[in-house]
Amino acid sequence: MNVQAKSVGAVRYVGTRQPRKEDARLLTGRGQFTDDVRMPGMLHIAFVRSAVARGRIVSIDLDAAREMPGVQAIYTQADLAAVPVQMLSFFFTNIESPVTLLADGRVACVGDPIAMVIAESRAQAEDAVSLVEVVVEEETPLVTIADAKTGAPVHPDRDDNIAAEMGDEDALEAIQPLLDGAAHVVSTRIRHQRIAPSPMEGRACAASPDGAEEMTVWMGCQSPHLAARYLAQALGMPTGAIRVVARDVGGGFGLKNIPWREEVAVVVAAKLLRRPVKWIEDRFESLTASSHAREQDVSLSLALDEGGRFQAAWCDYACNNGAWPMGEDANIAVHMFMWPAYKLPAYGFITRGWYTNTMGLGGYRGPWAMESLVRETLLEKAARKIGIDPVELRRRNLVYLTDQPHTSSMGIPVEDITPGECLEKLMANIDYAGFRREQAEARKEGRDLGIGFATYIEPTGSAGSMAPMTGETVQLRIEPTGKVVAMLSTHSQGHGTATTMAQVIAEQLGVAYEDIAVYEGDSAIGAFSPGAAGSRQGVIAGGATWRAAEMLADKVKVVAAHLSNASVETVTIEGGMVHIAGAPEMSRSIREIAEIAYGEPGRLPEGAATGLEAQYRYQPPPMTMTSAAHCCMVEVSAETGFVKILRWISAEDCGTVINPGVVEGQIAGGLAQAIGQVLLEDMPYDARGNPLAATFKDYLMPSISDVPDFEYLHANTPSQTIGGMRGVGEGGAIVGPPTLVNAIADALAPFGEIDELVLPLTPARVLDVIEQRDVSGTRAHLDGADVAAVVEETNPAEVVAPVMAAGIDGDWNMVLKTPMGPQEMVAHFDADGAVVSGYLQAPEGRQDFSGGTLSGSQVKFEMKVEKPMKITLKYDLQFDGDTVSGKCKMGMFGSATVTGERV
């Protein structure tokens, strides 16, 4: 799709640096954030939170707190239970380990909310909070992944601490020989620290009960539509009963994808109290009690042939889910997106999420970013080991456009990715050889410079492949005044969607940018969309806006043609004027057309609707890929271990660029987070489960002096979507960390390899490599922490299943643990000798299978499914009396466990 050719007006808007429509109010302090909401009679909420990481609540004494001035109510879980709540994951599946809004008899992490005090002012609420006495019978907390492997289950209703498990350990049998027989094998291990997302504005929620059943909720969120749908579903309210409004929001980053315990508790409190209430998360809560992110322990081995071509890889991934994650997560996306941009014949993995007594994990910009970090850092390590230049090693393995269509070893098809082309564009714009010369000269002076690269692809604009990712709706109208109003399903937490969408409208409709008003941020506006999640709004809302504006332009042309007795093809719109080719005297302003369309229906074409309106809901392809190559140059001080970033160049391909300033802002923001992750940010816990970075004095966010001026190159390969955009919201946070780590590793190469990358790379940890000793104390600390891990597998009981005397015929209730939550179904089996047939019945429908095999008490069968993708499910079940357990291999999704029992 050629953007230039599609242009309607002479004035170009798409691709230009329009000043942002949002800036005037935000930069002059006139934004409308949730804390700016004031309602008559509104009360304020403060939470009583657990100071211990794990234990049974013996008592909660509220008497003294209730006597405090201004206190109107204090709720514990016993009170909130009056309103049944079913919390949901980001995939809108039921949270497995029942999470209550407030602690229900037990606390599972420091910061666990225990009670909510509702008072006339926030200060009064906090005064009362300090008088609530909670007695907890403390238990030994599980803090690390190693703890989780051996300790008693965090959730007493579960058998172990595995929140989710995917992949297949047995697949290592096929991969291991490839590793053993390869010319080169390189391995790495990364321990990614825990991140506190730390948006500038913490979480915030104000709820006002209106009428009998309705509720208006103001919330700092990433999509008012999604929040409204979540709240309605979680609270069992009619969908239309909840309206969510979110005007300005100071950053989301994934943390505000879905309402979580506190926000839902605020809505429930408003329901119970029948009064407007507000909760504004403070910074202490934001750091210690908002969902955390990352904290992974990952090992990756890669086999290469003599020429450096990838042969096979194996990954063992674990993440610390905390006690109450926003969805039990083994992060399957890490494995899905690790290799599609590279030619790798064989890949296997095991991936697990572990429960611990720490704050739960939530989404965070590029939640699967570990795939790029572990792959790209290992790749450059391999380059050093084999003696091939890291750029050359990529060239030998990347999937270029000429190699496509291509299908990854896990079955992901790619047909228009451009990481190789981005890399070539990057290399054409930097003097790589010159830097290497400079680096060599600097070494002689005792200065250590380094250069690092990273290439990656990213799935963006996801729609229809997993709930609740959907299309976007745009409603456009030209007012009788000639001004254009857009009602969008989008939401901006800094994304500038009002700006970019207005640019698309201005371009497609032929009106001035200034004459367009954009309304968003309200579930009463537009239609359902998940908003800012997964780099999707520019792609999907952009496409919807593009098409809706075209439709509206067509309407204007039909009216203008009719009025001038001309053919539609002769009509053009430019700068708010409607022209007829060859008849300049017939030019009319859009306003004139609009006045006729609204006020003089008799002058419209026969049968034409009055007014000038258009609506379009765009359902794009399920996934649109973005690519990039970055490079960064650093100087590392061997004296202090400090890292100074000298230059950083980004070459990204996000297809059609609507506004380069907005695109670059997204990349820069992601890179700032990358710099924070690599060098500064850390939310450690002590052995008793206390978070150790409770203020910004200890949680080091990158500041303006830590972030360099980035340089940008834009490749512009249009995607298959309307408008040709590709998502760019998360890329910087994904490709940034490996780029910076690689630059540091390159600078450190003469001293040694970073054998195990423990983040953040503090100055002390940099000295560990330079001096080849444990300056930072990290090794001693980790060796101590890993001791627990040695004692794992406490229950290796090898059960020899007897031949099934009772037979397998009949119905079985089975649960399949998929990455998007557990799937319940009824399985029906009919055994005819060694041949098994039957069906699986789920809420979505019934699917038959045949040709299965029965051997002893083992049944194997296959089933092809279309959703979420075309894959073949391979079941391998072991029956034991009235119970069944086993695995289901799900193509790229790895293996899921199956459990069940006879109906």
Partner 1 sequence: MKPAPFDYVRPASVGEACRVLAESGGGATVIAGGQTLMPLLNLRMSQPFVLVDINGIPELKGVSRVEGGTRVGPATRQADALEDETLARHLPAFITALGHVGHYQTRNRGTIGGSVALGEPAAEMPATAVSLGATIEITSSARTRSVPADEFYVGPYMTVLEPDELVTGIVYPDWPDGHLVLFREVAQRAGDFALVGLVGALALEGGAITRAGIAWFGMGPTPIRARQAEAALVGASLAGIDAEAVARAAVADTAPFDDHHASAEYRRTVGARIFARALRETLDLRSAA
Which residue ranges make up the site for partner 1 (CB under 8 A)? 122-123, 126-127, 130, 282-284, 639-642, 679-680, 682, 684, 692-693, 695, 697-698, 700, 702-703, 705-706, 762-764, 767, 771, 774-777
Cβ contact 813:824 at 8 Å = yes
Angle, nearest 10°, between helix axes 731-748 and 660-675?
50
Q: Which is nearer to partner 1, 703 or 850 (CB)?
A: 703
**Nearest distance, CB of residue 742 and partner 1, angstroms:** 21
**Nearest distance, CB of residue 46 and partner 1, angstroms:** 8
**Nearest distance, CB of residue 698 and partner 1, angstroms:** 7
Q: Which is nearer to partner 1, 604 or 700 (CB)?
A: 700
Query: What residues have CB less than 8 Å from 87, skipping those under 6 apart?
Result: 94, 95, 98, 99, 101, 234, 261, 264
Parallel, antiparallel or unpaired: strands 871-880 and 133-138: unpaired
**Nearest distance, CB of residue 127 and partner 1, angstroms:** 7
**Nearest distance, CB of residue 776 and partner 1, angstroms:** 5
**Dihedral angle, C-alpha 725, 729, 735, 736, nearest 10 °:** 140
Query: What residues have CB less than 8 Å from 709, skipping those under 6 apart?
Result: none
Cβ contact 244:221 at 8 Å = yes
**Nearest distance, CB of residue 706 and partner 1, angstroms:** 6
Cα dist from 154 to 87, 244, 363, 683, whole Å:
18, 34, 21, 20
Q: Which is nearer to partner 1, 254 or 702 (CB)?
A: 702
Question: Vertex 255, ends 254 and 259: CA angle to 5°?
Answer: 110
Q: Which is nearer to partner 1, 130 or 481 (CB)?
A: 130
Q: Which is nearer to partner 1, 283 or 867 (CB)?
A: 283
Q: Which is nearer to partner 1, 284 or 712 (CB)?
A: 284
**Nearest distance, CB of residue 448 and partner 1, angstroms:** 15
**Nearest distance, CB of residue 636 and partner 1, angstroms:** 13
CB 93: neighbour CB atoms within 10 A? 16
**Nearest distance, CB of residue 639 and partner 1, angstroms:** 5
Query: What residues have CB less than 8 Å from 407, skipping those under 6 apart?
Result: 413, 414
Tokens, residue 730? 């998360």
Q: Which is nearer to partner 1, 550 or 635 (CB)?
A: 635
Q: Which is nearer to partner 1, 389 or 774 (CB)?
A: 774
Q: Which is nearer to partner 1, 166 or 758 (CB)?
A: 758
SS3 162: strand
**Nearest distance, CB of residue 44 and partner 1, angstroms:** 10
**Nearest distance, CB of residue 377 and partner 1, angstroms:** 22
b vs e for 291-320, b when ≥16 Cβ sit within 10 Å of the residue's Cβ?
Answer: bbbbbbbbbbbbbbeeebbbbbbbbbbbbb
The burial class, CB within 10 Å (0-12 / 13-18 / 19+), for 389 is middle
Distance CA 816, CA 744 (A): 43
DSSP states of 688-744: TS-BS--STTTS----GGGSPPPEEEEE----SSTT-B---SSHHHHHHHHHHHHHH
Q: Which is nearer to partner 1, 239 or 695 (CB)?
A: 695
Alpha helices, H only, 134-223: 145-150, 172-180
Residue type, 112: D
**Nearest distance, CB of residue 257 and partner 1, angstroms:** 25
Angle, nearest 10°, between helix axes 224-235 and 261-273?
60
**Nearest distance, CB of residue 775 and partner 1, angstroms:** 5
b vs e for 405-444, b when ≥16 Cβ sit within 10 Å of the residue's Cβ?
Answer: ebebbbebebebbbbbbbbbbbbeebeeeebeeebeeeee
Cβ contact 565:586 at 8 Å = no
Q: Which is nearer to partner 1, 512 or 680 (CB)?
A: 680
Distance CA 770, CA 560 (A): 74
Question: Vertex 305, ends 299 and 310: CA angle to 5°?
Answer: 50
SS3 866: coil
**Nearest distance, CB of residue 751 and partner 1, angstroms:** 15
Cα dist from 236 to 85, 257, 467, 517, 524, whole Å:
7, 20, 18, 35, 19
Q: Which is nearer to partner 1, 640 or 883 (CB)?
A: 640
Q: Which is nearer to partner 1, 25 or 283 (CB)?
A: 283
Q: Which is nearer to partner 1, 514 or 639 (CB)?
A: 639
Question: Vertex 758, ends 757 and 762: CA angle to 5°?
Answer: 110
